[in-house]
Amino acid sequence: MSASAITTGLLPADYREYALRLGDNALILGQRLSEWCGHGPFLEEDIALTNLSLDLIGQAQLLLELAGSQGDDTEQKTADELAYLRDADAFRNVLLVEQPNGDFAHTMVRQYLMDVYDEILYSELIRSGWQPLADIARKVLKEIRYHKQHSGDWLWRLGQGTDESHQRMQQAVDDLWFYTPELFENDDLQQRLQAAGVAPDMASIQTRWQAGVLPALKQAGLRPPESGWVATGGRKGHHSEHLGYILAEMQFLQRAYPGCEW
Amino acid sequence: MADMPLWEVFIRNQNGLHHKHVGSLHAADEKMALQNARDVYTRRKEGVSIWVVESRHVHASDPQDKAVWFEPADDKIYRHPTFYDLPDEVKNI
């Protein structure tokens, strides 16, 4: 046991698991957005979506590198190995980010819900006691703040747009809302990370997220659905069927041609 | 999208003193135009400041006036500052 493990009570596997949670969220959302490449509603937005995707995949690269550097030589992995050679049940992303792009409304609602979450989370993580994570958070935060401006504008424009755009946005909120409680799950690892000063208090993140999202929905003329079924499982590797399809496409090349570079 | 107006985009680069025209794009309003300009024209660190102007507000000289407007300057080389010695203190000319 290292000296830091004695003072924090955390093991390398705990640090790895937390970096995977953050990194997999970014990777899967980035991969989802990349599906829009060449299919955007108009050229300028097509490029904007691709920019968001590349930001997220860049974040994933840093976070998965950090995850892979934990533990001894036998446990360490490269970011590429973690991204391309893990099966679905080893992924730790929340279910929200693996939900299908659907129409542009679903993509933008999903994006906005995540952007607000990420902005609040990473604005806390820049003060994390885990210094390498705090350094990554500083870079991530700048990118996320732009993402939120972009998705927040669309939330308002389409929510207050035509009857059809409003109806599609409301449908997206209704469909995706029940995936959001998972963002704030406060499991055993999360509590130990918080106690060690690595991660923030999730209850306060949730309060701040609601204080950001609910007025924005209202301003856009949208409302969250009544409480109901709540999705969970991503942190334990229990994913929706969608993740398998995402990985089949994302991992194909490395699975078919191991070690291939281009 | 066909119903969104066209905008002209001007970018000032890191060491630039003025904004230069870089292209055009479609956007519903100035807010979207600025975001789109950021996403389309500053991906490779091209700039640190953006101006957008709706294209309909740009008034252009008539190409047919080219000879009348611009060729009279051709034989007036004395207007060029090349005949003067510039003091070292004067920058950015």
B43 interfaces chain A, CB cutoff of 8 Å: yes
Total-model pTM: 0.90
The CA distance from A129 to A194, in Å, is 10
pLDDT at A22 over 50: yes
Residue B93, in any domain of the structure: no
Q: What is the pLDDT of residue B14?
A: 84
A5 lies in a domain?
A: no
Q: Which residues pair with B11 in a beta bridge?
A: B20, B50
Residue A262 falls inside a structural domain? no
Which residues of A touch chain B, with CB atoms under 8 Å apart? 41-45, 47-48, 51, 146, 149-150, 153, 157
Split into its structural domains, chain A has a count of 1
CATH at A59: 1.20.1260.10
Say if A2 falls within a structural domain: no
* Structural domain harbouring A227: 10-256
Looking at the 3D structure of chain B, how many domains does it have? 1
Using the predicted structure, report yes or no on whether residue B65 has a pLDDT greater than 70: yes
Q: Residue A7 — very low, low, confident or very high, per pLDDT cuts 50/70/90? A: low
What percentage of chain B reaches a pLDDT higher than 70? 97
Please indicate, yes or no, if residue A218 is contained in any of the structural domains. Answer: yes
Residue B4 has φ and ψ, to the nearest 5°, of: -100, 135
Candidates A116, A175, A124, A176; CA nearest to A150 is: A116
Mean pLDDT of B44-52: 93
The confidence score (pLDDT) of residue A2 equals 46
Q: Is residue B74 part of a domain?
A: yes
Q: Which of A42, A48, A146 has its CB closest to that of B1? A: A42
Contact A20, A64 (CB under 8 A): yes
Q: Which residues contact B60 (CB under 8 A, 6 or more apart)?
A: none
Does some domain include residue A36? yes
Q: Does residue B68 lie in a domain region?
A: yes
Query: Which of B31, B40, B43 is closest, CB to CB, to A44?
Result: B40
ipTM attached to this prediction: 0.83
Neighbours of B66 (CB within 10 A): 10
Count the Cβ atoms, other than its own, within 10 Å of residue A4: 15
Q: Which residues constitute the domain of residue B38?
A: 6-83
Q: What is the CATH number of the domain that holds B25?
A: 3.10.20.520
The per-residue pLDDT for range A29-64, each reduced to its tens digit, is 999 999 999 999 999 999 999 999 999 999 999 999
**What's the mean pLDDT when you consider all of chain A?**
95
Query: Which of B6, B39, B43, B44 to probe by mutation at the A interface, max A CB count within 10 Å?
Result: B39
A144-153, A226-235, A243-252: least confidently modelled range? A226-235
The reply to whether A261 falls in a domain is no
CA distance B30 to chain A (A): 12
Closest approach of A165 to chain B, Cα-based (Å): 15
Q: Which residues of chain A make contact with B25, given a CB cutoff of 8 A? A: 43-44
